[in-house]
Amino acid sequence: MQSSRRRAIISAALAGCSVIAIGTIGYSTIEDMSLLDALYMTTITVTTIGFKEVAPLSVPGRIFTIFMAFAGIGVILFTGTELARAVLEVNLRRFIDKTRELTMIKRMSDHIIVCGYGRLGKAVAEVLIESSVPFVVVEESGQVCNQLEENHIPIVQGDATQEDVLLAAGIGRAKTFLSCLGDDAHNVYAILLARQLQPKITIIGLAVEDGAEERLRLAGAHQVINPYKLGGKRLALTAIKPQMMDFIDTSLLDSNMELELSEITVRAGSELEGRTLAEAHVRRNFGIIIVARKRGDDTCFNPSSDVRMQDGDILVGLGPLEALERAEKIAAGE
């Protein structure tokens, strides 16, 4: 967008400078004027101001003046056309991109809504892009929205505490709502509205101040993240157990490594339903480790091999991405 305007300004400036240079040299040569007088004659002719001539013009000088007058009009028209074209091109491109984004958002389902594109929201978006997870950003700042549009990130501009804004972000079809706004009050309002519009959606809230976790949970958040507490724990664990944190960083957080954590949902009719971990030979057949099993509100870490899997169980698996994807398909009955 900026390049189109820059090209238009440069083209107009070059055209204007060329005409002024030609006029100054022409008057100086034809009428034997000084450079200042020649520049003055060129300026009043090109701009069509028409002040008094420096000296009576000869016939060749008058013919040259006619040429310069038409050249000045041409430059003015050219400049106006280039600037109008640049503005129209920018607005048209923005309109097309906005229409494409709205169409894409309307087609989204089971996506994630990220409210607020501050430091935390930006970090969340980067991870979602890396993981190829569909998401929509809700942001109020026009400048930030323009940057996101240029990067082709789905964006809905507006206040996340307004119903029409969340509806435009497709909250009725979304699976997760992340409230990363800058203060706890707005996060509470956004969570309350999201819970009202989509009772089944999973909501994760950001706690900015100490003591805000309970308010966010009462508003309807399933999980509340306090980045300062998490950061403090991370620093402490790095100091106390550096080898453990190094393993986590290299195996789970490093995008170049193969190990990942993933949720595996057991569905009715799949090969895993009704079988124990030992009977299903999960480690041998898939090459993954089951580190936890969640059944409703009950979470069991490091489940024993005789745990029998049921429809709706969520297994947390650790292993290579391809193995996890294969296990997810088997658990889903595909």
Name the CATH topology of 2-101.
Helix Hairpins (1.10.287)
Confidence band of 162 (pLDDT split at 50, 70, 90): very high
From 11-25, 171-185, 186-200, the region with the lowest mean pLDDT: 11-25
Q: Two tokens at 155?
A: 């964006």
CA atoms within 13 A on the CB side of 315: 31
pLDDT at 256 over 90: no
- Of residues 254 and 227, more confidence is placed in 227
pLDDT at 138 over 90: yes
Tokens 């595909």 correspond to: 334
Q: Is 158 left (phi over 0), alpha (psi -120 to 50) or beta?
A: left
- pLDDT tens digit string along 284-317? 888 888 888 888 878 888 888 888 888 888 888 8
pLDDT at 271 over 70: yes
Please report the pLDDT score of residue 92 as a whole number. 64
Query: Which of these CATH numbers, 3.30.450.20, 3.30.70.1450, 3.40.50.2300, 3.30.365.10, describes 258-331?
Result: 3.30.70.1450
pLDDT at 163 over 90: yes
Please report the pLDDT score of residue 297 as a whole number. 77
- Of residues 69 and 252, more confidence is placed in 69
DSSP state of 250: I
Residue 38 Cα distances to 42, 68, 69, 76, 166, angstroms: 6, 12, 14, 20, 64
Please report the pLDDT score of residue 254 as a whole number. 56
Residue of 120, 115, 196 lying closest to 156 (CA atoms): 115
How many C-beta atoms surround the C-beta of residue 146 within 10 A? 14
Residue 82 Cα distances to 13, 73, 77, 221, angstroms: 11, 14, 9, 52
The rounded percent of the chain whose pLDDT value lies above 70 is: 89
- pLDDT tens digit string along 65-114? 888 888 888 887 877 777 777 777 766 666 666 666 667 788 888 999 99
Which part of the chain has CATH 3.40.50.720?
Answer: 109-225
Confidence band of 39 (pLDDT split at 50, 70, 90): confident
Homologous superfamily of the 109-225 domain (CATH): NAD(P)-binding Rossmann-like Domain (3.40.50.720)
Round to whole Å and give the CA distance between 58 and 133: 76
Please report the pLDDT score of residue 302 as a whole number. 83
Please report the pLDDT score of residue 203 as a whole number. 94
Which part of the chain has CATH 1.10.287.70?
Answer: 2-101
Confidence band of 204 (pLDDT split at 50, 70, 90): very high
Which part of the chain has CATH 3.30.70.1450?
Answer: 258-331
